[in-house]
Structure 1
Amino acid sequence: MNTSTWNRLTVAAASLAVIAAFTPIQPAAGQIPVSGGHFRRALSSDPANLDPALTNTSRAIAVKMAIFDSLLRQNPKTLAIEPGAAEAWSVSGDGKILTFRLHRGIKFHHGREMTSDDVKYTIERTLTPQMASPFIRAFDRIVGAREFTAGQTREVSGISALDRYTVQITNSVVDSTFPLVFTGLFIVPKDEAERLGRDFGQRPIGSGPFIFVSWSRDSSLLLKENPDYWEGRPYISALEFRIIPDPATLQAEFETGRLDFILLEDPTYRRYADDPQWKPYVVEVAELFTRHMGMNTTKPPLNDVRVRQAINFAIDKATTVRTVLQDKAFVATGVFPPSLAAFDPSLRGYEYNPQRARELLAQAGFTSGFEMDLNGSSTPVAGRWLEVLQRYLADVGIRARIVQQDFGVMLDRAGKGELMTYVLSHGGGSNCVNYLGPFRSRNFGIAGNRMFYKNERVDALMDEAERTFDPRRQIQLCQEAERLVVADAPWFFWNYNKAALVHQPNVHGIVGNPLELDWIQMHKVWIQPRR
């Protein structure tokens, strides 16, 4: 497959995307973007560090997007794969070899040009066992990657710098989702990463639109414009990430004009969305997260599909979204949220029907109901969610005992098969194959399938979808698999998160990203001077 063919496929995939609830504010007629200004946004806490190989938290990525370039990007509106540092890329006929051609003239912040050697080094650095990178699994299918990580070789045989601007990567399997990995591969300069070692994450050097200036922990992280950025000089001259953990302080700083935008959580969403002063400046998006209650399909009585279906019928999702989540969510009908290209609007899912729930429980032999644990994290918000679910389950005879624990402990215990249920938000990225990862039997346990769910037909459909590069066919396969999963009900399919932010009236160019709302292309944002 040549480059143009692959690019056409990504455009075709984009045309299938169903993007819901985007409301970015566009400049009024006649407005022209202006340069200058100090843009201030907030983080709830400091990132652990800013080394692309070491941090995968949302707040760290928001900063890294400003400092570094990735090989490929995803369009925030369509989620289509687009050029990044690589101006073009291609996939071989057998689907195993990816070839990337870099833009010429991309300069790192210390002045040296980016080359294919930097790309090769970035991947190999990630795979080095001493780095203990959370991204190792993303690249371990590259030919020679596991041998390199095990210390058996000095380089990854499947990564070749063909010339100064061309890098070729050979995968050991056919995986149509593999190009997505490179949307998160932030390229580091080999010379500076080696010179700084572990300090690189505290003094990062990239090639992105903003240059690292300073970091005062528990206070702020300051970047400045990169005047030599290869896509053009950013509009704003300085970008500051202020560390503000307290929600009340966050709102006060925004309303007094000392922050240019803030993310809106459930308690504050309606305050701004219903206020005529702020409503025009609220940006909303159906984020790629599905809130659910996972059910261990190997533990009685949840090993009976009728019991799992009964739980889905027992809870009034629409009412809980309206009253508990303050309308900051969309009712779930299945696995895929509406921002995903594979979203199936014809899928009805489970509507609230407590009588049907009681009938199914009776058919399963539980006319008097049963007892079970309802597990969630230890936060007050999670506690409120669990109490609501508990009341609905009690109405059909299921006596649920609320168990709250540390989030990490809950995930670990669920992955070991120790829990009957767990309440969680699943984010599977922008590809339907990855999004259905928790329902593949090869992913039992901590790999994501904490329900220990197995359906051989679902496995077969996902195997085929993973091998196909035809986006239409891939979506058809994913939707067929989703319908089977919904019928088997290993989850209580609750809601899709609605992410929202509010920005100052003089801020322009913010486009919500369904992957993470605050993953904003900051070099396209501009500030209109206040009068």
Structure 2
Amino acid sequence: MRFGTALLAGAFALASGAAVAQGQGGTLRVGMAAQDIGRLDPHFAVSTPDRVVVAWMFNGLVRFKPGSINPAEVEPDLAERWESSEDGKTWTFHLRRGVRFHGNYGELTADDVVFSLRKAANAQSSAFSADFRAFEAIEAVDPHTVRITLRENVPSLLGILTAYSGGYIVSRRAVEERGADFARNPVGTGPFAMDRVTPNQSAELTAHAGYFRGTPQIPRISYRFIPSDASRDLAFQARELDLNYGRSDQAWQNRTRQIPNTIVDVFEPGELAILNLNTSMPPFNDIRVRQAVAHAVNRAELVRWRGESVSREGQSLVPRGYLGFTNDVGLLPHDPARARALLAEAGHPNGITIRAIHTQLPEMLSAMQVVQQQLRRAGITLDLQVVEHATFHQQIRQNLSPMVYYAAARFPVADIYLTQFFHGRSIVQTPTAVTNFSHCNQADSQIDAARVSTNPQEQMRLWAEAQRILVQNVCGVPLFETLLVFARRDNLDYGYDLRGSMSLGPLITEGTRFR
């Protein structure tokens, strides 16, 4: 609390009239639930605080229409057009001309695109390399044409290449010149450029005057790190913030809507929270203990706690609404008595204690504390080791926690979620690691077969079978899906209707303005 109070008394202590003038006159002041920024190299931006700001600085070959996460609404971005071969394995993208990188890094060329996609496909330089497994070749045909050749068909090539995760395009020269420093001083082609990062305080961005869609109407963004929910809320109420990362709970939403001149946006995608159970590590190498956890969880209670307008029960190990989702997976019902019996069968008649590493990010911590209480009723004591969010991401990838609470949204096709979280190639601490914390690989054949199938019905069948296998093996326990919530001043106009955002926050574009 001392940290939040210091922020309010120092960096954010603006007179009310001056604060209003600043917001309307230029700087967009954003409050984010983070102690500090993580990694702004877009191919390593995995946490929500990083994803939100990265989307303001980078483009992809294609993008979702602003305000949408509908794959049918993917539209040109850095590529102005493209075509594919009849067999779907060769794609040619024709780049816009005259696209400028931030600063003095010149014009975008096919060489930058090839470099970026190869970087995204390399596990040493990207957290999203598994998405590019089917890529055989990425080559520059000429300075404004890129050809991609696939070894096998993928469910959605354009999905991999959107302005999201591994699809972001970086400046080759900037990456090579800045090296490790690129993670704090990134260079893209997006509407905003990084000015500076002040650790534990803010990231400051400036409008990219050479942006190919036009100079942004907002000249500056101050992206402020305020981990305390109370401190962020107070700053927003004092008109020291124009846009505030919200809490996905009903009480917060109801209370915030009562603040004068305030709009609360609730939007897709729903982030699916899962308890990933490490099947290779005691005690979860015993399926009875995993089943006990599944029986201990009460999804309906979690939704009541979070709020029915901002959350919904998890029904599978793939989020609702994704192509390939099914709720016919045989989830174990809430049954604490059965959980205790299973623990006794597994040799733990007096219950069991599990040590788990968890983030201090308020929204995730409060959710895990509710789960902690549910598990306790079934004889499972959860000893939470709470660490800073960036440290959490580092440690869970080092196999240091047998249980990992992870909430995520991905491109809305079952393949990507299944591959990143539940395929053998994605097991953490392997050369091709992504986010498979459960160490499950039982559905690999179904996931792989679905990816290359050209029969949509067969694809759906295989994805459903994969989900049933993973749920039967209790590789993870789905908890709930949380919709995204941000509060803004009613004079902040995004320039589009916000129904969804794959970057997990509002896109600030060239059309965003203060009315």
TM-score normalized with structure 2 length: 0.75
Cα separation, partners in 2 of 1:424 and 1:62, compared to 1, 3 Å = closer
Residue 315 of structure 1, aligned match among 297, 302, 307: 297
CA deviations 1:393-424 (Å, max 9, x no partner) are 4544x343525264788777776767553433
- AA matched with 1:459: D
Within a 5 Å distance, the mapping from 1:35-46 to structure 2 comes to: 37-43=26-32, 44-46=34-36
SS of the aligned residue for 1:283 comes to: strand
CA distance in 1, matches of 2:382, 2:107: 60
Shift of 1:470: 5.9
Find out whether 1:494 has 2:491 as its counterpart. Answer: no
User: Between Structure 1 and Structure 2, how many residues are aligned?
Assistant: 473
Cα separation, partners in 2 of 1:359 and 1:525, compared to 1, 3 Å = same
Shift of 1:481: 1.9
1:25 matched residue in structure 2: none
- AA matched with 1:377: H
CA distance in 1, matches of 2:500, 2:142: 35
- AA matched with 1:223: T
Find out whether 1:294 has 2:284 as its counterpart. Answer: no
Cα separation, partners in 2 of 1:517 and 1:449, compared to 1, 3 Å = closer
CA deviations 1:3-56 (Å, max 9, x no partner) are xxxxxxxxxxxxxxxxxxxxxxxxxxxxxxxx9854222343554664546655
CA deviations 1:125-147 (Å, max 9, x no partner) are 66799x8555566557644xxxx
Q: Judge conservation of contact 1:273–1:282 (CA < 8 Å) in 2.
A: no
Shift of 1:388: 4.4
CA distance in 1, matches of 2:372, 2:179: 50
Shift of 1:435: 0.7
Cα separation, partners in 2 of 1:274 and 1:64, compared to 1, 3 Å = closer
1:12 matched residue in structure 2: none
Find out whether 1:64 has 2:54 as its counterpart. Answer: yes
Shift of 1:344: 3.4
2:358 matched residue in structure 1: 377
Cα separation, partners in 2 of 1:325 and 1:468, compared to 1, 3 Å = same
CA distance in 1, matches of 2:245, 2:271: 16
Residue 204 of structure 2, aligned match among 221, 234, 238: 221
Q: Judge conservation of contact 1:225–1:233 (CA < 8 Å) in 2.
A: yes
Identical aligned pairs, as a percentage?
24
Shift of 1:319: 1.8
Cα separation, partners in 2 of 1:198 and 1:380, compared to 1, 3 Å = closer
Shift of 1:385: 5.2
For the aligned residue pairs, the C-alpha RMSD in angstroms reads 4.1
CA deviations 1:119-174 (Å, max 9, x no partner) are 22434566799x8555566557644xxxxxxxxxxxxxx33221232111234454
1:259 matched residue in structure 2: 241
Gaps of 5+ in 2: 1-23
Residue 251 of structure 2, aligned match among 258, 270, 282: 270
CA deviations 1:32-81 (Å, max 9, x no partner) are xxx98542223435546645466555434433332332112234423414
Find out whether 1:122 has 2:131 as its counterpart. Answer: no
Gaps of 5+ in 1: 1-34, 144-157
SS of the aligned residue for 2:55 comes to: helix
Residue 462 of structure 1, aligned match among 439, 447, 451: 447
Shift of 1:308: 3.4
CA distance in 1, matches of 2:280, 2:44: 35
1:207 matched residue in structure 2: 189
Q: Judge conservation of contact 1:85–1:103 (CA < 8 Å) in 2.
A: yes
1:159 matched residue in structure 2: 138
1:439 matched residue in structure 2: 422
SS of the aligned residue for 2:510 comes to: helix
Q: Judge conservation of contact 1:95–1:176 (CA < 8 Å) in 2.
A: no
1:97 matched residue in structure 2: 90
TM-score normalized with structure 1 length: 0.73
CA distance in 2, matches of 1:125, 1:445: 19
Shift of 1:358: 5.6
Residue 515 of structure 1, aligned match among 497, 502, 512: 502
Shift of 1:115: 2.6
Cα separation, partners in 2 of 1:431 and 1:38, compared to 1, 3 Å = same
Q: Judge conservation of contact 2:450–2:462 (CA < 8 Å) in 1.
A: yes
Residue 236 of structure 1, aligned match among 201, 218, 221: 218
- AA matched with 2:138: I
- AA matched with 1:314: A
- AA matched with 2:358: S
CA distance in 2, matches of 1:314, 1:462: 29
Q: Judge conservation of contact 2:192–2:205 (CA < 8 Å) in 1.
A: no
Shift of 1:503: 0.9
Within a 5 Å distance, the mapping from 1:326-341 to structure 2 comes to: 329-341=311-323
CA distance in 1, matches of 2:182, 2:355: 43
CA distance in 1, matches of 2:144, 2:461: 37
CA distance in 1, matches of 2:281, 2:101: 54
Cα separation, partners in 2 of 1:284 and 1:84, compared to 1, 3 Å = same
1:77 matched residue in structure 2: 68
Q: Judge conservation of contact 1:512–1:520 (CA < 8 Å) in 2.
A: no
Residue 88 of structure 1, aligned match among 73, 77, 81: 81
Shift of 1:491: 1.9
- AA matched with 1:82: E
- AA matched with 1:443: S
Q: Judge conservation of contact 1:288–1:430 (CA < 8 Å) in 2.
A: no
2:7 matched residue in structure 1: none
Shift of 1:342: 3.5
Shift of 1:384: 5.9
